[in-house]
């Protein structure tokens, strides 16, 4: 599983681009099923229609990120925050 930095996540019309060290993963907000804490609290996991992402903790406005994503797709299950 790849780890992506949240500090480099940005939105493009209902799509989120998570930038890793080597590549970028595009995830449509409608396909996100859940966002939850990873083991040890150092990462966050995003389950979506095509698999999972593990993101490194490091975004100042993480709760704003969660609110924005939840506003775009109210069906997302947010766990552990």
Mean pLDDT of the chain: 79
Looking at domain 3-73, its CATH architecture is Roll (2.30)
| Residue spans per domain, the chain | 3-73
The answer to whether the CB of 28 falls within 8 A of the CB of 40 is no
pTM for the full predicted model: 0.74
End-to-end CA distance of the chain: 22
Give me 20's structure tokens: 């890793």
46-69: average pLDDT:
84
Looking at the predicted structure, is the pLDDT value of residue 4 above 80? no
Q: What is the mean pLDDT of residues 13-42?
A: 82
What is the pLDDT confidence band of residue 63, given thresholds at 50, 70 and 90?
confident
């Amino acid at each position: 599983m790849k780890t992506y930095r949240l500090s480099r996540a940005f939105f493009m019309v209902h799509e989120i681009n998570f930038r890793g060290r080597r590549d970028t993963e595009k995830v449509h907000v409608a396909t996100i099923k859940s966002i939850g804490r990873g083991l040890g609290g150092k990462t966050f996991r995003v389950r979506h229609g095509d698999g999972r992402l593990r993101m490194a903790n490091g975004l100042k406005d993480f709760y704003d990120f969660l609110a924005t994503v939840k506003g775009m797709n109210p069906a997302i299950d947010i766990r552990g925050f």
